[in-house]
Structure 1
Amino acid sequence: MVKIELFEVDHWILSQSSDIKHNLAHSYCLPKSLSDVQQQAGSSETGTDVFSPVLSKALDYGPMKGSEALRSKISHLYSSESSSSFSTEKIITTPGASLANFVVLFALVGPGDHVIVQYPTYQQLYAVPASIGADVSLWKSSQEENWKLDMEELEKLIRPNTKMIIINNPQNPTGAIISKQTLEQIVQTARKHSITVFSDEVYRPLFHTVSPVDPEYPPPILSMGYDNTIATSSLSKAYSLAGLRIGWIASHNPKVIDLCVNVRSYALITASQVDEHLASFVLGPPVRQLIEGNQTLTKENLNIVQSFIDKNRSICEWARPEGGPIGFIRFVRSGRPVDDVILCTQLLEKKGLLLVPGRKCFGDGINFSGYVRLGFGGDTEDLIGGLGALQSFLDHDFREIPVYPGAADKY
């Protein structure tokens, strides 16, 4: 029987879902309606017109790899950031990025394989390979180094049976980004050892510190000139449309695509034709305004959180996020990390504020004590309200939160 770890972040949010007044546990940008998307695109059309092409369409199974229209829009996203065109044959769709990740890992990794995973990161990216018999090495980073990756450490982790290097760019939960130079070094190392590079890019292109004209702007992994690269993404995070269950897998390697199509067939056969049609609309003319709006929102909200941290710098700190709508904040007392699980539990009970404890949800119960993940991609007034509740707790109740006795020195 295959056994897989409890998915801690989802379990935490589900188990703490009562009496929430302020939800800053989310990891996506402010959800949009289709009408919102049209308005951002400057359209005066009603939302009904978006549905018109599918109202009379027989809802049979869709194409096995996904609709041609949607895959064409996705291919344009990659072609626009590359020196060459990107064929639709290199793309398959899935209901969200989580399933895309699962399909990739199930299709390409197995017993006897070794994978290296950027850490901290989304639990799925290391728990799934471990559950199917692979050996997993964590490529660790720390706040003290601004969550930057050490290339010498990567070389030390590589074994003769290393099958895959897994990265998350921008990174969940820290908001750190992997620069173009570091991506080039990762690809160079992978090419030397014939290792596949798999990049979860669900938060692209939501960057706060760089723009496409900057030399270190992180390109998609597929534009790095190495065929053994895989990218996954979706509309859930940077595009504000988690309710459209659409994600995708993309790779230059046709064998990778074929293997993923086979696993995908076991899991779902095809994606929803309705969702794919709506996703195709979103990735058309509205997409630029949608991303620009979310970049503006997250940058403004990021500054609000930074002001909060500056005000409370004796008890909380972070490496300022460079991308995505999330940050990883460490709470300390007398320089020692507090028990983040107790902190988050008390915040919900006393203030109705939901946050995500780092040690429990990203540190296997050991690492990242004192850290909490905070989402700042939502409504600005909601963020201000949540930070107000947090400030009240810090002023009146924080002294009751114990220091975590088993805190790892590095984290």
Structure 2
Amino acid sequence: MEINAFGVEEWLNKWENEAIYDIAGSSIASMTLEDILNLEPSIRNKLVETLCHKTMNYGWIEGSPEFKEEVSKLYQTVKPSQILQTNGATGANFLALYSLIEAGDHVISLYPSYQQLYDIPRSFGADVSLWHIHEKDNWLPSLNELRKLVRPNTKMICINNANNPTGTIMDQAFLEELISIADEIGAYILSDEVYQPLEDDFSIPAIVDLYDKGISTNSLSKTYSVPGVRVGWVASNNQIADHFRKYRDYTMICAGVFDDIIATHVLHHKDTVLKRNKEIVHRNLSLVNDWINKEPRVSLIPPRHVSTSFIKLDIPEDTENFCIRLLKEKGVLLVPGNRFDMPGYARLGYCTHTEILQEGLKRLSEFLKEFD
């Protein structure tokens, strides 16, 4: 089986540990274990005692009942039995694709997006059509173009909503039209939903709540600030979940028992976590917008209060070379846009800790002045 190198992960694996000011990632400023234990100070000691006395066996294979109950609360129509715990959203996406896609199938994938969503189906021998996003449409794709891509045998349409790297969101009206297209041919929709918009009076429904053949994947890594726990999940209807169970046995036995406990604790206190993270996103996005207004060589279509953004660079240099020099000379890490097949752009993970963002943007501006 042949598969392309995973562009973003390859870049981060090589350079992330050299960064002093890492503004490349797309998680909201990660919490420490101390932060997590203090989400409810009155039970901190009880939680520590639970962890210390936990038997290090396999635990709950599909995720503990408490975990599945907390995850089901994130949806409108999903029961705990429809939730399967995975190794992050990466594991959830892989499980869905491994379970449903085989050689000769036709798959449509949003592009650019999370690379798994098009290169894994390709590696299985599927015929993958790319559904391009467009800068002129605020990085949304065209539904008319999708209608031209679908075939009678299209098996799955893959999206991530909000989009990585741009932060653009397909709203409910857009999703409902997408669903009508998919439903005409009986196609699944796989939606990676790790980037939740954190703004008041605005939300987007999960695809699993809108469409019977919708498959939602998510994790603790982005919106909930705990990528280190490596816990995600897939939510689907009962029939699809039962199908996934067979394939899951070949890819994952269970998450670690500590991981399940911490993940459940974070989700149980999601209101506290989301309040913290709303403040970070609002504050940091305001800083980025102010910086963009003063920086002549950078432009941005602002994301909708999600933790990733995609800046456009007006520089006479190869983007990846620019980003390597920026790291080596200023200690600032971005993800060059060519890692998304979009040279001339870069992913700016603005939801890091605010002081890191401020210094990173300052040093980026200093570096850009060499082109003046």
Which amino acid is the alignment partner of residue 148 of structure 1?
L
Match of 2:258 in 1: 274
What SS does the corresponding residue of 1:31 show, helix, strand or coil? coil
Inter-CA distance 229–88: structure 2 relative to 1 (3 Å threshold): same
Of 157-166 and 19-28, the range deviating more from structure 2: 19-28
Q: Aligned match of 1:242 in 227, 231, 235?
A: 227
Q: Which runs of 5+ in 1 are unaligned?
A: 400-411
Q: Which runs of 5+ in 2 are unaligned?
A: none
Match of 1:322 in 2: 304
What SS does the corresponding residue of 1:255 show, helix, strand or coil? helix
What SS does the corresponding residue of 2:348 show, helix, strand or coil? strand
For 1:51 and 1:72, the matched residues in 2 are separated by: 22
Match of 1:182 in 2: 174
Which amino acid is the alignment partner of residue 223 of structure 2?
A
What SS does the corresponding residue of 1:282 show, helix, strand or coil? helix
Residues 226-264 of structure 1: per-residue CA shift (max 9 Å, x gap) = 210100000011100011121001001x23212322222
Is the CA contact (8 Å cut-off) linking 1:177 and 1:323 kept in structure 2? no
Q: Aligned match of 2:69 in 63, 68, 72?
A: 72
Of 54-63 and 98-107, the range deviating more from structure 2: 54-63
Q: How does 1:120-159 map to 2 (within 5 A)?
A: 120-159=112-151
Which amino acid is the alignment partner of residue 142 of structure 2?
D
What SS does the corresponding residue of 1:292 show, helix, strand or coil? helix
Does 2:278 match 1:292? no
Is the CA contact (8 Å cut-off) linking 1:143 and 1:318 kept in structure 2? no
Tell me how far 1:59 sits from its aligned partner: 2.6
Is the CA contact (8 Å cut-off) linking 2:198 and 2:274 kept in structure 1? no
Tell me how far 1:58 sits from its aligned partner: 2.8
- Root-mean-square deviation (Å): 1.7
Does 2:248 match 1:256? no
Does 2:336 match 1:354? no
What SS does the corresponding residue of 1:197 show, helix, strand or coil? strand
Inter-CA distance 23–54: structure 2 relative to 1 (3 Å threshold): closer
For 1:338 and 1:174, the matched residues in 2 are separated by: 22
For 1:242 and 1:133, the matched residues in 2 are separated by: 31
Length-normalised TM-score, structure 1: 0.87
What SS does the corresponding residue of 1:283 show, helix, strand or coil? helix
Which structure has greater helix proportion?
2
Is the CA contact (8 Å cut-off) linking 1:351 and 1:393 kept in structure 2? yes
Give identity over the alignment, percent.
Answer: 37
For 2:34 and 2:330, the matched residues in 1 are separated by: 34
Is the CA contact (8 Å cut-off) linking 2:282 and 2:305 kept in structure 1? no
Match of 1:307 in 2: 290
Does 2:344 match 1:370? yes
For 1:326 and 1:96, the matched residues in 2 are separated by: 18
Tell me how far 1:189 sits from its aligned partner: 1.2
Match of 2:162 in 1: 170
For 2:348 and 2:162, the matched residues in 1 are separated by: 15
For 2:222 and 2:86, the matched residues in 1 are separated by: 15
Which amino acid is the alignment partner of residue 85 of structure 2?
T
Which amino acid is the alignment partner of residue 275 of structure 1?
D
**Aligned pairs, how many?**
372
Inter-CA distance 338–306: structure 2 relative to 1 (3 Å threshold): farther
For 2:48 and 2:277, the matched residues in 1 are separated by: 24
Q: Aligned match of 2:321 in 342, 346, 352?
A: 342
What SS does the corresponding residue of 1:243 show, helix, strand or coil? helix
Match of 1:93 in 2: 85
Which amino acid is the alignment partner of residue 398 of structure 1?
F
What SS does the corresponding residue of 1:141 show, helix, strand or coil? strand
